[in-house]
Every structure is written in C-alpha cells, then in structure tokens.
Structure 1
Amino acid sequence: MFLYLSITLLILIYYIITRKYNYWQLKNVTHTKPKFLLGNYGDMILLKKNIGETIQDYCNAFPEEKYVGAFYGTEPVLIPKDPEIIKLIVTKDFYYFSGRELSEHNHKEPAALNLFGTHGDNWRVLRQNMTPLFSSTKMKNMFHLIDKCSYKYEEMLDRETKMSNELEVRTLTSRYTM
C-alpha cells in the first residue's frame, strides 16, 4: 500500500513540476525541450555560464526566428530577438510585459533598481522619469560630450597600457563615468 501511495505521489509531483513544459508548444513558439527542474537555463543555474552567455547561445540556436520560447526553471520565458518586436514591447506594449524581472528579490538590491531590473509600478515610475531625459534632441546634444569623453578615455587607456600590462578596470571605468 505504501509503495503504491509513494509511486502515485511521485507521479503527481512530477506532473505538477513539468506541466508547464508544453506551454510554448501549445502557442506554436519555437523552443527546445527543457531539462527537468532547470529548464533551458541549466548552465546559468549551475554557474557554468552567466545569463548573457546562456541567452546568447540559446538565441544562436535559432538564427532565423524573431522570438523564441525558453524555460527558466519551470517558468516559460519569451525571448524577443527582432528589434521591431523589442521596440514594441518596450514602448507600446509595456503594460503587458511589465513582469519581466530577473529576480523576485530585485527590490532588495540597489544595483537592480533600473529599467531592466524592476517591474510593475516601480518600472512604470522609472520609465516616466527617464523618458524625458532621453529625447532625441537631448541625445543629439549629448553626443558631442560623450564623443569628447570617449576620446579622452581612449587616450587614458593608451597611456595606462604603455605604463603597465595589467590594468584595474574598475578604477578606469569609474574615472570614465565620473
């Protein structure tokens, strides 16, 4: 009796965990079969690759697709690749895609309080505050300043590399951003 109950319980747990794995198939979205509990982000979860490398490798597997489906653990994740689709998501359809946080704990990490790390109402407020800062006129006016700073940064890198083969990148980039 205990054996039957255990087997039934294991089958039920397996079904509950894997029931979302046919999500992209039902939506006719290109995807690969996920690994049990790890999804398509196994290398990142096991600390073999960072998130950027993982997503890049996954997207490179489907070079002709405009978007692909993946699984972060057991959760389905849409990865848009086409610039036009990304533009639509970030501008017009942001209401439908506002829950795209990288972690449930981003609100506790100050470095994650940016447009890419927040979601929901926090994201909406940040976007409303940031949008006027990056109008096309202001970006055109800033271009000369950025160009000048980049040129100085390049000169500084040349000078530093002539003095030493090893560089402390953190201090160099902080000097550039100041």
Structure 2
Amino acid sequence: TFLTLFITVHPPLHPPEPFKEHLPCSEMPYLEQHLQEWQAQVVSQYPHRPVKCLVVDTSAKSICVTRFFQPLAPPVLEEGVSTTPEMALRFVSKIPMVPGSMLFPGLFDVWLTAQQVLMLLSGDSEDHAVLLCCYLLHLGLKAWLLLGSGVPHGPMALVLTRDISGTATLWDPATGQ
C-alpha cells in the first residue's frame, strides 16, 4: 500500500533564470554564432518553450546537441531474438534516473552521451532520452528528442518516432511507456 500526494504552492514558485555565462565551445566559432542566433530567434517567437541547440557536455564545454545522436546498437536482451523498439525502451527505463544536479552538483545541466550513460548506469531525463533515441535510430526509425514540462514530473524529455508507414509514436524513457 502506498499514498500518492500532489501539493501545489500558491502563488507558484518560479524557477531561477538559467545560467547565462559563456562557456568554451567545442564547435567552430561560425557554427556557434549561427546556433546562438537561431536559438535567439526561436526563443523570441516561443518564449515559454525550452529550446536548446548548445548544451554542456562532461568536459564543461558547449556542444551542438545533435552531436549526441548517433545510431547505437541496443544490447542483445535475448539470444536469437532481435531487439525491438519496445525492448530497447524497457531496457533504458530500467537505468536509474538521477537528476543532473546530483550527478554534477553545483554545475549546470550537463548532458551525457549514450556511452557515458551506459558507463555510469544512471542519468537524468535528457540522458535517458538520448540513449533511447540512439537505439531507435539504429533500429531504423526516424527519431526526435522532445523537451517539455509535465505535471507532476516537471521538466522532461521524450522521444518521438515515425516508422516506415508514417505512424508516429511518443516514447517516455523514464516510465517505459
């Protein structure tokens, strides 16, 4: 038996402004500038949507978010059986979820590569979504990372796929659904 409790605060507390200091960037200067200009344009059109094109990696440098997405073969979970997208989702959902602030205390939101998540066997919402996205890309699906916010979870990352027939599916790597 367990009790689920949902509490709200009135007036709602507003999260602090994100860290704005300029970090060294792994990208070429012209690409970094282009990404910053594009992000500023999108944020001006959609001010309440999370838009990230440069994120911080484990070397404390900004890097283009697309560098994290490379097809990665999912583990063989059962001998003689090809791994399905659902099996990959279940595997990723079993990796412990740890808020980024606990993995790297005092730092900003640090993104891990798929290999780093597997090495640490933990990660936050974005890290799980990146790993799942890499597995689904290897399985031949078109996959996109979605960043948003939900109740009661707060900030979250999901994966959207489209198969050959055009059917879209939304995957939550945190819950395995």
Q: TM-score range by the shorter chain?
A: under 0.3
TM-score, normalising length from structure 2?
A: 0.25
Q: Which has the larger radius of gyration?
A: 1
TM-score by length of 1: 0.25
The structure with more helix, counted as a fraction of residues: 1
Structure with greater strand percent: 2
